[in-house]
Amino acid sequence: MGKTKGPERAQEMVDVLKRWQGLERQAMSDTAEIIEETKSPLVTIIMEIIRHDSLMHHRVQQFLIDTLTTTNVAVSREDVATIWEKIEAHDKVEKQTIEMAKELREKAWSPIHKQLLDYLFTDESKHDSLLVQLDEVKKGMSQASGG
């Protein structure tokens, strides 16, 4: 995929993303079937997590397809200025949840609790990472304007 240029490269990305979406749809279907068939609350919650993540992956893949084919990705300075205080406040909440998950994971004795607390810690850390990336976009906007 790295050797093509321009429209061909974009089309290759779209093609791969569409195939990937098919796999995500299959994962959603598979996990739904497993949820229906199991009596285990542990298996159910894990399948629900995977199903939800597959749905979000599908949505992100569609966003990427749209940005490659029809929709321009833009973030205005005005929009960022309007919401930034709320984003910063939310980032503080995310950091609190990371600490809570870390503390509980260290205190947990059950392998199941440790596994699920590790999942929560990883997921909350991922949210924090996304907010850091959004902050980098904001900084890039400021540098581009000389601010």
- From residue 94, give the alpha-carbon distance in Å to each of 69, 97, 118, 121, 138: 34, 5, 15, 10, 19
Q: Check if the beta carbon of residue 127 is closer than 8 Å to that of residue 93.
A: no
- The string of DSSP codes covering 46-115 is HHHHHHHHHHHHHHHHHHHHHHHHT------HHHHHHHHHHHHHHHHHHHHHHHHHHHHHHH--SHHHHH
Rounded to whole angstroms, what are the CA distances from 42 to 38, 49, 130, 135? 9, 11, 28, 36
Residues 2-41 pLDDT 10s: 566 778 999 999 999 999 999 999 999 999 999 999 999 9
Q: Residue 1 pLDDT > 60, yes or no?
A: no
The distance of Cα 5 from the centroid of its chain, to the nearest Å, equals: 28
Model pLDDT for residues 102-120, shown as the tens digit of each residue: 999 999 999 999 999 999 9
Give the residue among 4, 3, 54, 53 at the shortest CA–CA distance from 24. 54
- In whole angstroms, give the CA distance from residue 31 to residue 80: 37
pTM (2 decimals)?
0.85
Confidence of residue 76 (pLDDT cuts 50, 70, 90): confident
More confident: 76 or 143: 76
